[in-house]
Structure 1
Amino acid sequence: MKRTPAPAGSRDSSAPRGAAMKAVGGTRHHLLLRLVVLVLVLALWQFTAQAHGSVYFPPPGRIAHRAYELWFSGPVRRAFLTEAAVGDVLPSLGRMAAGFGIAAVAGIGAGVVVGRSRRAYALCNPVLQFARAVPPPALVPVFVVVLDFGTPMQVASIAFSAVWPVLVNTAEGARNTDPLRLDVAAVLRLNPVERLRFLILPSALPRIFAGLRLSLSLSLILMVFSELLPGTANGIGYTLTDAQSRSDLLTVWAALLLLGVLGYLLNAALLAVEKRFLGRGRSTA
């Protein structure tokens, strides 16, 4: 008996479905491997810490329990956040968000202007490379002298240090816009705003997100460093300094764990936004 060949339409529709299922399977396999590695590292840490019994190297179970007691054992009406979380973690995140937001807006705006002008790029590039090479913590004392201790100094130091990766990457992305697309825009008589919206920014987005990810890491580092200075009354950095002065090493480890988790979650959120704008294939991750 002859088999009737499947319609061409059904074959075409099954191919994307199979590719999607294969991609989902690959993602699940990758996540499973990450989970296995994490469990193995934690198990090794737990076993080593219990075997040595050193107060300087507590097991991860005790560290996680201490972090829970300090910050996440509050009432339901406050989303399980304790007084310490409201008084220390939220102010730190607010300073970091303010500094990172200022750096992102200023860096993207200035980067587009510098990148689209050959003369401006040639004049500003040495200054940009010099500013990017200066270690960010070295600038904090300058802001202490100018602004004194307090939240304005902390936000300014975060913003000034985090702006350079965004600015440089945006300038490079805007500078490398396809000339053929610019010629087509000239033929279509697009105005400058339309060129920026439909040509320059989409072309520069991969470099912009690469700069934003670098700036996000710098913002987290500068947030903690600025809170380690004298005169700080709250924040995760203040919690570290206070716990160190009291020789409370378990709280020190808990604060380090919190910083690591915050950094991972913030980076994952930015990656999700990047994939939303660029698609999985063009992500810079």
Structure 2
Amino acid sequence: MSTIDTTARGHGGVKLFLLRAWLPVTIAAAWWIGSASSTSLYFPSLQTIAGTLVHDWAGPGFAANLVPSIGKFLAGFLIAAVVGIAAGLVVGMYPALRAATEPVIQFLRSLPPPVLLPVGLLLFGIGAGMNIAIIAFGAVWPTLLNTIDGVRSLDPQLTEMARSYRLTRAQKIRWVILPNAGPQIFAGLRTTLQISIILIVVSEMIASTNGIGYYLLNSQQTFAVPQTWAGTLVLGALGYLASLVFIRIERYVLRWQAGLLAASGRGA
């Protein structure tokens, strides 16, 4: 790669960063200035919220509340992802199994996860196991259904090609089915990620002694308004960072798709 290409790419990265950063920075600056003299109980100044944020989350609160929430969130999301992709592949590959399981899947996916909190409490008690179980059960459905649809959308010509090349079942899944269903699977995983973040807060509010949800509920019950705002900002930052990491992984795994689209553009 030439120096000119590297410089151009660097300038493009700076422009993209500035394009994405100007609005959040403007909002934060306006909030800081506009709330500086606030005496409202419900809308404290951003300076007060920032001080609470540093005090409660930069020290012992980081290990006491943020680390457990991240651990439970990752565990629940990964379980939902693995189960959703694996079950979706099996169900999608066999029409008879798909027809037999569809009523059960549709029934279970229609159950709001918060409704299952009492059942989770009976089975797992108060603690991380219950939080992870609720996240995994509530977030698995988008990945499961998208994987099934992705497998079903396989072009019959690709199926015939795999048969003519005498690919084993594992080879067919690895080289034919997964690449074809990949975009839909990641679309489901993106929704699963968002639901997982919501459910970690909901489950921790009901059945936990630590975590962001517990912190938010305790702040609300004790009328600690700055703490409530601080916890909300931490939750938003966690969701944003998780989305950034997910997008990076998605682009890496589906990089072949970008190359295919580029090749199609050149061909056109």
> The TM-score by the shorter chain falls in which range?
0.7 to 0.9
Partner of 2:21: 35
Count, aligned residues: 257
- Read off the aligned partner of 2:51 and give its amino acid letter: H
TM-score, length-normalised on structure 1?
A: 0.82
Distance (whole Å) between structure 1 residues aligned to residue 158 and residue 116 of structure 2: 41
Secondary structure class of the residue paired with 1:234: coil
Which of 246, 262, 273 in structure 1 is aligned with 2:238?
A: 262
Instruction: Give how far 1:152 is off.
Output: 1.7
Q: Which amino acid aligns with 1:269?
A: V
2:122 is the counterpart of 1:145: yes
Separation (CA, whole Å) in 1 of partners of 2:126 and 2:167: 49
Q: Which has the larger radius of gyration?
A: 1
* Alignment equivalent of 1:216, drawn from 170, 180, 193: 193
Q: Distance in 1 between the 2:195 and 2:112 partners?
A: 10
> How far apart, CA to CA, are the structure 1 residues paired with 2:144 and 2:95?
15
**C-alpha distance in structure 2 between counterparts of 1:68 and 1:199, whole Å:** 50
Structure-to-structure mapping, 1:104-253, within 5 angstroms: 104-229=81-206, 232-253=208-229
Q: Which residue of 1 aligns with 2:30?
A: 44
The superposition leaves residues 221-267 of structure 1 with CA deviations (integer Å, 9 ceiling, x where unpaired) of 1111111115x221111111222232211111111110000000011
Instruction: Please state how far the C-alpha of 1:143 moved relative to its aligned partner.
Output: 1.5
Q: Residue by residue, what CA displacement relative to the aligned partner does 1:105-160 show, whole Å, maximum 9, x if unpaired? A: 11110000111112222333343334333332222223123333222211111111
> Cα gap change, 1:261/1:191 in structure 2, threshold over 3 Å: closer, same or farther?
same
Q: Partner letter of residue 257 of structure 1?
A: L
Q: CA deviation at 1:27?
A: 5.1
Question: Given the superposition, is the C-alpha separation of residues 114 and 67 from structure 1 closer, same or farther in structure 2, using an over 3 Å criterion?
Answer: same
CA distance in 2, matches of 1:38, 1:169: 33
Q: Deviations over 1:176-201 (max 9, x none)?
A: 12221221111110000000110111
Question: Does the Cα contact within 8 Å between 2:68 and 2:210 map onto a contact in 1?
Answer: yes
Match of 1:103 among 65, 80, 85: 80
Which of 32, 40, 49 matches 1:54?
Answer: 40
Q: Percent identical across equivalent pairs?
A: 39
Specify every segment of 5 or more residues in structure 1 that has no aligned partner in the other structure, as ranges. 1-12, 73-81
RMSD of aligned C-alpha atoms? 2.4
Shift of 1:21: 7.5
Letter in 2 for 1:86: A
Q: Give how far 1:272 is off.
A: 0.2
Q: Which of 277, 280, 284 is equivalent to 2:253?
A: 277
The answer to whether the Cα contact below 8 Å between 2:87 and 2:144 also exists between their aligned partners in 1 is yes
